């Protein structure tokens, strides 16, 4: 079974090594598993489109100062509300004469910043709560899950609004508010995974070797929860972007001169009937990015978590 047909040298050699039935080392097995996942993922065209859009967004955000033709904050009142296609301003200018394209490009950084922070905080908090609840069981489990249920029982946006009201407007507070409302589903998932893992033989073996609960949770339970959490995070990213944009739109997220996309829409709202593009362009950007996250999430779910089909 080990002899695969010869594929020629160079790239073929790598493929044989990656597709080998009998990996010679742990590293090779891991690389092979990753390669198989990538092959599965690559066959999903929509997911690849999503990935492409997001890589593009990353590049734009990284190179923003070089890509943007103008400073996103510099006003030019003589050139205000120019329609798209105006020479020098491909997407037009806003009510203060700032170049919309430049603001859009710089705004991608803010969007990524918010998404990255929430996507880091919320799943980690959920993972911590869920695994501790699942592993400890008993009253710890009851209390932690009750708290989770309470947060789940709240409408998310309204809760985020109330938190921002208490903390004050701003990007960091928006991140905290969104994270506070986003962690409960992760806790549920992590707890469910922990419950199935907890009673398995290898956990008993580790425990017999003298591992304490902290070591078991961090080294042996967390790694197995990661893949289902990653899927959920990717699917949630779109929701996070929309929530952040919603807070920005309400004036509770990023504050005015900042080129945050939701705030840009709010600014364009006043001119929507006469100068449609001021609000339309950032809205399209939000839509594109969250669509990309949804496409990517669907694809990742098929690769990493084939059990849960539609609906989840």
Partner 1 sequence: MTTAPDTPPRARRGPIAPWFTTTVGTLTSIAVTMLGLLFVTFFIGRVMPIDPVLAIVGERASQSTYDQVYRQLGLDQPLIVQFAYYIWDVVRGDFGVSTLNARPVLEDIARVFPATLELATLGVIVGVVFGIPLGVASAVKQGTWIDHLARVVGLVGYSMPIFWLGMMGLLVFYGILGWVGGPGRLGIFYQGIVPDRTGMILVDSALAGEWEILGNAFSHIVLPASLLGYFSMAYISRMTRSFMLEQLSAEYVTTARVKGLSEWAVVWGHAFRNIRVQLITVIALSYANLLEGSVLTEIIFAWPGIGSYITTALLAADMNAVLGGTVVIGLVFICLNIFSDLLYRVFDPRAK
- Select 217 or 238, whichever has its Cβ closest to partner 1: 238
Task: Say whether residue 280 binds partner 1 (CB under 8 A).
Answer: yes
Task: Say whether residue 203 binds partner 1 (CB under 8 A).
Answer: no
Q: Which residue from 260, 290, 300, 301 is in contact with partner 1, where contact means CB under 8 A?
A: 290
Distance in Å, CB of 235 to partner 1, minimum: 9
Q: Which residue from 81, 124, 136, 147 is in contact with partner 1, where contact means CB under 8 A?
A: 147
Task: Say whether residue 154 binds partner 1 (CB under 8 A).
Answer: yes
The residues pairing with 89 across neighbouring beta strands, listed in sequence order, are 86
- Select 221 or 258, whichever has its Cβ closest to partner 1: 258
- Closest Cα to residue 300, out of 22, 8, 50, 2? 50
CA distance 104 to 300: 28
What is the token pair recorded at 121?
């905080």
Site for partner 1 in 234-263 (CB under 8 A): 238-239, 242, 245-246, 249-252, 262
* Buried-state track 54-86, b at ≥16 Cβ within 10 A, e below 16: beebeebbeebeeebebebeeeeeebebbeeee
Q: Which residue from 136, 211, 287, 304 is in contact with partner 1, where contact means CB under 8 A?
A: 287
How many helices and strands, by DSSP H and E, does the chain display?
13, 0
Q: Which residue from 64, 68, 107, 163 is in contact with partner 1, where contact means CB under 8 A?
A: 163
CA distance 118 to 228: 17
CA distance 243 to 237: 10
- Select 216 or 290, whichever has its Cβ closest to partner 1: 290
| 3-state SS class at 189 | helix
Q: What is the DSSP letter of 83?
A: P
- Select 19 or 143, whichever has its Cβ closest to partner 1: 143
Task: Say whether residue 125 binds partner 1 (CB under 8 A).
Answer: no
User: Which residues of this protein are in contact with partner 1, per CB under 8 A?
Assistant: 146-147, 149-151, 153-159, 161-168, 238-239, 242, 245-246, 249-252, 262, 265, 269, 272-273, 276, 279-280, 283, 286-287, 290-291, 293-295, 309-311
């Amino acid at each position: 079974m080990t002899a695969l047909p010869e594929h020629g040298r160079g790239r073929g050699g790598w493929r044989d090594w990656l597709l080998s039935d009998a990996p010679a080392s742990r590293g090779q097995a891991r690389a092979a598993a990753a390669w198989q996942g990538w092959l599965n993922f690559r066959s999903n065209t929509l997911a690849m489109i999503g990935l492409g859009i997001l890589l593009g967004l990353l590049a734009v955000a990284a190179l923003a100062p070089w890509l943007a033709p103008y400073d996103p904050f510099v006003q030019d009142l003589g050139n205000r509300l120019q329609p798209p296609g105006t020479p020098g301003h491909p997407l037009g200018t806003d009510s203060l004469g700032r170049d919309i394209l430049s603001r859009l490009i710089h705004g991608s950084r803010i969007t990524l910043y918010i998404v990255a922070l929430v996507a880091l905080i919320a799943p980690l908090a959920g993972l911590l709560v869920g695994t501790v609840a699942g592993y400890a069981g008993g009253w710890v489990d009851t209390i932690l899950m009750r708290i989770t249920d309470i947060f789940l029982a709240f409408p998310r946006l309204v809760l985020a609004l109330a938190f921002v009201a208490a903390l004050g407007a701003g990007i960091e507070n928006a991140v905290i508010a969104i994270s506070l409302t986003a962690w409960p589903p992760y806790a549920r998932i992590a707890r469910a995974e922990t419950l199935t893992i907890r009673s398995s033989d290898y956990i008993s073996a580790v425990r017999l070797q003298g591992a304490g609960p902290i070591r078991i949770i961090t080294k042996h339970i967390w790694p197995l929860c990661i893949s289902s959490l990653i899927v959920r995070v990717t699917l949630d990213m779109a929701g996070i972007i929309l929530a952040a944009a919603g807070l920005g739109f309400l004036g509770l997220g990023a504050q005015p001169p900042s080129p945050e996309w939701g705030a840009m829409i709010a600014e364009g709202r006043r001119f929507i009937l006469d100068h449609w593009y001021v609000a339309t362009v950032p809205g399209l950007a939000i839509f594109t990015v969250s669509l990309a996250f949804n496409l990517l999430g669907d694809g990742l779910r098929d690769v990493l978590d084939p059990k849960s089909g539609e609906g989840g």
